[in-house]
Amino acid sequence: ELTPTLLREFVEKIVVHECWKDEQGTRHQDIEIYYSFVGKVDLPDD
């Protein structure tokens, strides 16, 4: 079970960037998760 206490042990910080819209009006927002002992892990875009 993922508890808030356990989550705080593994996540160092979360950075939420400002929203932006593309040419079609679709809203986007980048979120970066920095893990303790690992740092930021880049995942491929879908």
Per-residue pLDDT reduced to its tens digit, 9-35: 989 999 999 999 999 999 999 999 899
SS3 14: strand
Residue 39 pLDDT: 85
pLDDT at 40 > cutoff 90: no
Q: How far from 17 is each of 28, 30, 40, 42, CA to CA, in Å?
A: 10, 5, 15, 15
What's the average model confidence in pLDDT over 2-12? Answer: 88
pLDDT at 44 > cutoff 90: no
CA nearest neighbour of 34 among 5, 12, 10, 6: 12
| pTM to 2 decimal places | 0.67
DSSP character string of 9-36: HHEEEEEEPPPEE-TT--EE--EEEEET
Interatomic CA distance for residues 1 and 28, integer angstroms: 30
Residue 30 pLDDT: 93
